[in-house]
Structure 1
């Protein structure tokens, strides 16, 4: 019933069908609840006609719009949509949004709809499933309340202080402190979770975004254990950003040599391994030439030879 009043207060006028849809009940339930509210003294009235619906007598405003601490904290997750739902906060975020709408001056109430028609944050990656990891909600609760947990990760128990959760490319990561050092764990690889009963006090200047950026840079740098020497055309240099990680591209750009008479340049590209490097060179196609190591050059030559045979002169 409180939600019904807040909806009408926030929107100005709503039909029984619209209220039923918003609240997830039948129209019959809406009629019954409106009757109960009127009997309790809430000045709701039904207006007939094409633009009719339930309204509140002018000037009436409920005092039930005050936010709880949990709702105020959830306010900053209101734009995350599915991500907030995966964290188990959908109901709190919805309640916060409803109270905000009810508290807005009448002329501002169309702002959320105006914005949502123009801007949308699509958090998950393109080819990542929408299901949240099984332990995500319990882990979010520990992060929310600063509780120490013991997790099972890659077959080993680890006691960690869960400082924050990050959603990157549709994958959830836990940023945790282990013996005074921050480490990153993929949430979908955590096999078990249990609170130890101990609480921890996080530093007031802790910056999750800053720590994540540092961890991510270290993670990517650790991936690039090998390097290759390549010649790239101007088009190949332009396409390099689409086939390699930004840190690898930055290193290649820093070590690029002077262009030759055709505009081609030679540089060193950090790679995760020769299999990944082979895929990257094949994606660059005729805009790249592998100079070293010899085994990668031979592998690319063999692939190109097979392709040339397949796409040889038309026999028709």
Structure 2
């Protein structure tokens, strides 16, 4: 613990010379007395750190005691500082390593480049999760990330969602985890399932990490699996994201919409199925209503989404969902048929 703090102190002094003992204490989360002792320990270890008195004093390293990346352009330095996602690194258990890496980078930059790099953090921030969703890191994410780094085959238990309100069922898979993807605040693992699919090497699969309920090393997997050198995670995700989203839409709901409902439909349903739904719309009837088929993930999801359209939508099929909307409408009518004080 102390060794890591000593390294951090040396890097901070190198990147920001002239800091007082009080400033270093606040940065390191220790007392000023500890800073003084740590400085002495660094001196004994051969690091030329010294404390200077006076208005322009503070802790400094001996002149020339630094490594400089003199070929970096300011724009390149700014880009390096933008390459990390703080929340993602924290979820993966890598925030401490990232902080140390940024300190090392800052310590090696020329003063003119250091200012350019640090300015990017003040101008750009990535907030990955969607609105109205409290972000949370899946419990098994750090362990899964370690398996990705080590090319270690894992056995995972996965809660596969049931269709149309059916309970989730637990499945177990052997997986060669190739990479992790953060999409709108949700983590996914992309990997290959050996022996599955038509290819001899196995089939590529994508799983939501928050649905992984158990994770362990695969039996007999003492050595790292051999990665396919042609696999490109970014290209895979780009090419398959649309198909993945479309594959989630497994239930067809037939609806009749008013003109306003048709206009609002794209705001409440899944984008992956909107274009297809609009293309299936009939010509407006005498009342201006159109009928179309909407692809949704499940009847539960359809109820939540379409209920937002109120009287601008009528569910025609499936019958079970239509009955659910009728009961919902009857409950609303009973509720609002009385005044707030209970008088009808």
1:168 counterpart = 2:183: yes
Rounded to whole Å, the distance in 2 between the matches of 1:76 and 1:150 is 36
**1:101, CA displacement in angstroms?**
0.9
Rounded to whole Å, the distance in 2 between the matches of 1:153 and 1:296 is 28
Rounded to whole Å, the distance in 2 between the matches of 1:38 and 1:3 is 15
Residue of structure 1 aligned with 2:37, choices 32, 47, 70: 32
TM-score (norm 1): 0.79
Contact 1:45 1:55 in 2 (8 A): yes
Residue of structure 2 aligned with 1:211, choices 236, 248, 272: 236
**1:183, CA displacement in angstroms?**
1.3
Task: Name the stretch that deviates more: 305-314 or 237-246.
Answer: 305-314
1:185 counterpart = 2:191: no
Contact 1:77 1:84 in 2 (8 A): no
Residue of structure 2 aligned with 1:280, choices 296, 305, 308: 305
2:125 match: 120
Summarize deviations over 1:183-205 as a string: whole Å, max 9, x none: 12333424131151122232333
Rounded to whole Å, the distance in 2 between the matches of 1:3 and 1:102 is 11
RMSD of Structure 2 on Structure 1 (CA): 3.3
1:46 counterpart = 2:52: yes
Rounded to whole Å, the distance in 2 between the matches of 1:200 and 1:76 is 33
Contact 1:15 1:53 in 2 (8 A): yes
Summarize deviations over 1:35-82 as a string: whole Å, max 9, x none: 444564625333434x7533446x5342499xxxxxxxxx79962213
Unaligned runs of 5+ in 1: 66-74
1:220 counterpart = 2:245: yes
Count the aligned residue pairs. 304
Contact 1:16 1:30 in 2 (8 A): yes
1:255 counterpart = 2:270: no
Rounded to whole Å, the distance in 2 between the matches of 1:159 and 1:79 is 30
Rounded to whole Å, the distance in 2 between the matches of 1:35 and 1:293 is 77
Summarize deviations over 1:206-247 as a string: whole Å, max 9, x none: 121333355554443333232222233454334323321111
